[in-house]
Amino acid sequence: MVKEIERAGLPVVHICTVTPISMTVGANRIVPAIAIPHPLGNPALDLEGEKHIRRCIVETALKALETEVDDQTIFDVKY
Amino acid sequence: MKLELGNIIINDIQFTNEGSKVENGVLTVNPEQIKSLVLEDSNIESCEVFIARPGESVRITPVKDVIEPRVKVEGPGGIFPGWIAKVDTVGSGRTNVLKGAAVVTTGKIVGFQEGIIDMTGPGADYTPFSKTYNLVVKMEPVEGLKQHDHEYALRIAGFKVACFLGELGRAVTPDEIETFEFDNLVESAKKYPDLPRVAYVQMLQSQGLLHDTYVYGVDAKRTLTTIINPLETMDGAIVSGNCVSSCDKNPTYVHLNNKVIRELFKAHGKTLNFVGHIITNENVYLADKERSSNWSAKLAEYLGCDGVIISQEGFGNPDTDLIMNTKKIEAKGIKTVIITDEYAGRDGKSQSLADADPSANAVVTGGNANQVIVLPPMETVYGHLHFVDTIAGGSANNIDAHGNITVEIQAITGATNETGFHNLSAR
């Protein structure tokens, strides 16, 4: 999906846990997620904590979307 | 360290109203004894016991675990350390085995209802457990039991029954005794200085509820990659808590009879020097995957390996663990052979693994788990057939008017096993 949407001319950020697979399949902008069963959440945290990490991930993804890249790039999230 | 396995060959299972026993190759079981043992756990509401013999028109589903009955007759430790026995180190002395018999646990399972064993017909060819004499233990939990407690109750009940049956073989003279010896690194290097040094890297499924494996009672997802004596594995140190997409998950029976370990022992001192067994996990966090594969490579290097065999458990994101292990071990100058299976689509045309790397250039496959098979109806079903359309490999309305079930072989217990346990081949 990432590649097809990019082929249509729209930049894509792939948020995923297993970033090596994202690299293998050819995503250009990659943001690491939390874990495979809960990519955008963390059941160990309270609701406030979850909201915080989710905001960090989304803001990193938005930043990645407007960043020029020459090669496949992983944008680490700062929590 | 030296381990003797005393195999008592079992040719049949029978029920009795009297005491359970093993005599002349027949395992005779009083089902009431099994039921009262299982119902000691107040989390289990009901228990039924059945016999499934090879060739009978019987289907067992969903399958929670398959366990080989055993008893420790000499030496330290006991069966299933950390669960049934205390955590003393196993892998030495003598263990008697009811060879040919198995305990198969079934009943409503937490969440997904997985795993089919057909004792006859085309499905029987796809599961190694159509060839064992199976004591089927069907259990239902008390209402409202939490998922993790439910899984735990079923798992422990299976071990208890297997140990109860194994105990019947304590005083029986085994039909054959297999002896395995594993030297320490210095001794084996002295004995076989010219043979290539080969280790086994075993990946253990460790992704959460119904996807977990345990080592001496420890949840594998909470472990760092470590070295275990292969004799410990052969003597019950590793047990299964997983059965989802059952084609490539290792029931406890498979850990006890790991074929990679057995083949390495066969070749040991002849074509290679079997120097160690590394166990690593397949966790759901990327950092865990990185850390565990770093440690696999570090320990393979520490053992001075020339080559390693890596076996995977499961598929999907563990393909990344597999490729990380391979890349990092190869980067140390150590040759690898990987054992995996494939999810190449029903037509076999899709990419087989979710991850790949040029260094993974020696691959043994257990087959394509998406391959479709039609299973004809059986006269008897032990367990719950009505879950068959919701299991992995099943689909909506996949039972036709004649009772034929169309499923992918990923629904069949052990069909594409990644430790070489199953011997179905394309030849």
Tell me the pLDDT of chain B averaged across its residues.
Answer: 95
Q: Return the HEC string of B31-82.
A: HHHHHHHHCCCCCEEEEEEEEECCCCCEEEECEEEEECCEEEEECCCCCCEC
Report which DSSP code applies to B422.
-
Q: Average of pLDDT values for B240-247?
A: 91
Instruction: Check CB contact under 8 Å for B289 and A18.
Output: yes
- Tokens at residue B129, please? 């457990």
Alpha-carbon separation of residue A53 from A34, A35, A49, A50, B243 (angstroms) = 9, 12, 6, 5, 32
Instruction: Check CB contact under 8 Å for A19 and B324.
Output: no
What confidence score (pLDDT) does residue B108 get? Answer: 87
Residue ranges covered by each domain of chain A: 2-74
B358 prior amide bond cis, ω within 30: no
Within-domain flag for B257: yes
Which residue of A20, A35, A36 is in closest CB contact with B324? A20
Within-domain flag for B205: yes
What confidence score (pLDDT) does residue A49 get? Answer: 96
**Tens digits of residue pLDDT in B354-395:** 999 999 999 999 999 999 999 999 999 999 887 776 667 777
Domain count within chain B: 1
Rounded to two decimals, what is the model's pTM? 0.94
Within-domain flag for B422: no
Within-domain flag for B417: no
Length of chain B measured in residues: 427
Within-domain flag for B255: yes
**ipTM score for this prediction:** 0.85
A32 CB within 8 Å of a chain B CB: yes
Which residue of B285, B323, B356 is in closest CB contact with A35? B285
Question: To 10 degrees, what angle do helices B31-38 and B147-167 make?
Answer: 140
Provide the domain limits for residue B391.
Answer: 2-411
**Tens digits of residue pLDDT in B18-73:** 999 999 999 999 999 999 999 999 999 999 999 999 999 999 999 999 999 999 99
Q: Residues of A with CB below 8 A from B284's CB?
A: 17, 35-37
Instruction: Check CB contact under 8 Å for B317 and A36.
Output: yes
**Tens digits of residue pLDDT in A26-44:** 999 999 999 999 999 999 9
Find the chain B residues whose C-beta atoms sit closer than 8 A to any C-beta of A.
207-208, 284-286, 289, 317, 319-320, 323-324, 354-356
Report which DSSP code applies to B302.
H
Within-domain flag for B170: yes
How many other C-beta atoms can be found within 10 angstroms of the C-beta atom of residue B305?
Answer: 26
Residue B425 predicted with pLDDT over 90: no
Within-domain flag for B77: yes
Q: Average of pLDDT values for B418-425?
A: 86
From first to last of the 79 residues of chain A, give the pLDDT tens digit: 899 999 999 999 999 999 999 998 899 999 999 999 999 999 999 999 999 999 999 999 999 999 999 999 999 999 9
Within-domain flag for B135: yes
Residue B111 predicted with pLDDT over 80: no
Instruction: Check CB contact under 8 Å for B286 and A24.
Output: no
Q: What is the largest CA-CA distance in chain A?
A: 40
